[in-house]
Each structure stands twice: as structure tokens, then as C-alpha cells.
Structure 1
Amino acid sequence: MVAKNTICLWYDNDALGAAQFYAATFPDSAVTAVFRAPTDFPGGKAGDVLTVNFTVLGIPCMGLNGGPAFKQSEAFSFQVATDDQEETDRYWNAIVGNGGKESDCGWCKDKWGLSWQITPRTLSEALAAGGDEGKRAFAAMMTMQKIDVAAIDAARRG
């Protein structure tokens, strides 16, 4: 069954590799279908992977091997809420350790250029609380790449 709404992600030529990585890294994730070109086409041959249907943390996605015309940007990211430092480290290290890049404030990019926000729930809760607690947590976050849960918790307490 095709989902009513699916996120389409453009890849140069490795949508299948990306989908397999996400399925191996995140729970409730899987590669659900691979569609191959039935004939040769401009820029490709019969049998080349055209699209890949997959889920990431339960979200239906389609990876499109569209070539180099468009690149990923921070205008789209997956935000993953984590429960503790171990989970934060696991996802961050999987993405960065597989050819990705660290960025600031809990953001990183995978090797395909897709942006991820690995966000511990304690940070989201502090920001939602607002006031001095939110200000302290925000100031602490601004000094980090991967979020340090203990440092955010300490900032929350003041």
C-alpha cells in the first residue's frame, strides 16, 4: 500500500545505500521496496535503481536517484528525540562515523548530505519550560556540537 503522504528525498545515485543505513541504524525503519529502470534512459541503464521506498522511525520516505542536479540542505532535516546520552551517542556516532559531519547545536549530516538533529528530550523540555531554565539550557546548547545531556541537565538546574 502506498502512503497518502511520503517524504521524497533526492540522492545523487545511492538512495538504496542510504535507506539500508537508516534501516540498520534506527528502530521502526526498513527498506520496503526497490524500483529499477525497466529500460535504458538518459543518464542510466536498465536495472539501475530509480527509487527506494523506506521508513525512518516510522516515517514513510522515498529515495530518488535523481543525479547531481540538486543537493540536500539544512532546509530539511530529521529531528530525532533521544531519551539519554547513550541513545544520543549511538545515533550521532552512527551518522558521523559513517562518513557524516558534525555541526553545531545537535545537528549533523550523513554522508549523503541529509541533515539530522539528534535532540535529547531534556533539551526540548528545557526550551519549552522557557524563563531562566530555557535561557540557561539554550546558552549551554550553543557551545555544543553533539548535545551533552549532563551539561544540559546542570544548566536546567542552574
Structure 2
Amino acid sequence: MTPLQKITPYLWYDHDAQAAVDLYVSLFPNSRVISVERIPSGPGEDGAIVEFELDGQRMTAFDGGPMFKFSEAVSFVVSCETQEEIDHYWHGLSEGGEQQQCGWLKDPYGLSWQIVPAALAERIAAAPQAGMDG
């Protein structure tokens, strides 16, 4: 039995959680839908709570209605080893969304992503932090 992870991202969508998860699972390796629970969301409409794994990271997507929106205050960073990998995620996630500067994009469902070369992420992590006591 796989142990539960301590922290699970819970993503609130207006009404398209299933479509968002289908996109993510189609793009990332080691990804799968674990379960889908249908929930009533309005007259003649059903929403969903979708549990899924994205490259091994367990997450939940929820059709919660229009009360809350994603913003750039929260984003997922995807570290890529090759230009082909960068292009794969960039094009796959930004199609129908919004391309921004410096590797940032919003997918068609409003979630922000940063698509970055792994070497850049490693360089930033290894750089001495100004004002940090060692």
C-alpha cells in the first residue's frame, strides 16, 4: 500500500476540473486519474471532484463554481532537461491559454505555470542568498 503524501494540492475550478485534469494527465508522464466523483452543481449540470496524479504527485481538482479564481500568486514550476521538453509543456499547456514572459503561462483553465530549464533552476538554487546568515 502506498503511503499518503502529507500535502496534496487542491485546485478549485469554476466548472471544468475534469477537462483540466485530462489535459494535465495527457502531457505529463507518470500521470493518471485516480477517481472521479460527480457532484450536482446546478440545474441540469454536474460537477466533479477529480483525484489524480501528476508525474507521481497526488492532487485533487474540484468544480466549485465561480467564487474563486486562480492568480499568479500560486504557480507550478516545471523543470525541463531539454528544449524539446520545454516546447512540449509550453505548447501543450499554453494552447487556448495565455503565454507570458520568462517562461510563465496560464493554461486554458487559468492555472499559472512556469516552464524553466532545469539548469536555470539549479543555478538559482545554488546562488548565495543576499543577506542570509550562514
Deviation per residue, 1:49-68 (Å, 9 max, x gap): 33111111211111110111
Indicate the structure with greater strand content.
2
- Counterpart of 1:26 (choices 25, 28, 31) is 28
| RMSD value, Cα | 2.2
| Aligned counterparts of 1:47 and 1:70: Cα–Cα separation in 2 | 19
Q: TM-score, normalised by structure 2?
A: 0.84
> What amino acid is aligned across from residue 53 of structure 2 in structure 1?
T
The two structures have a TM-score, normalised by structure 1, of 0.72
**Residues 129/2 of structure 1: CA separation in 2 closer, same or farther (3 Å cut):** closer
Identity %: 44
Q: Which runs of 5+ in 1 are unaligned?
A: 132-158
Equivalent residue pairs, number? 126
Amino acid paired to 1:126: R
Please give the alpha-carbon distance, in whole angstroms, between the structure 1 residues aligned to 2:59 and 2:117: 24
Q: Distance in 2 between matches of 1:2 and 1:22?
A: 23
Looking at both structures, which has the greater relative contact order when contacts are Cα pairs under 8 Å and sequence separation is at least 6?
Answer: 2
- Shift in CA distance, 32/13, structure 1 to aligned 2, threshold 3 Å: same
Larger helix fraction of residues: 1
Q: Deviations over 1:29-76 (max 9, x none)?
A: 111110012xx5xx4258723311111121111111011110001121
**1:9 aligned residue (8, 11, 15):** 11
TM superposition shift of 1:2: 8.8
Q: Which runs of 5+ in 2 are unaligned?
A: 129-134
Whether the aligned pair in 2 keeps the contact of 1:81 and 1:119 (CA below 8 Å) is: yes
- Give 1:85-104 correspondences, 5 Å limit: 85-97=83-95, 99-104=96-101
Tell whether the 8 Å contact from 1:36 to 1:47 is kept in structure 2 after alignment.
no
1:99-125 per-residue CA deviation (whole Å, 9 max, x = no partner) reads 111111111110110011111112123
Describe the SS at the equivalent of 1:20. Answer: helix
2:102 aligned partner, one-letter code: C
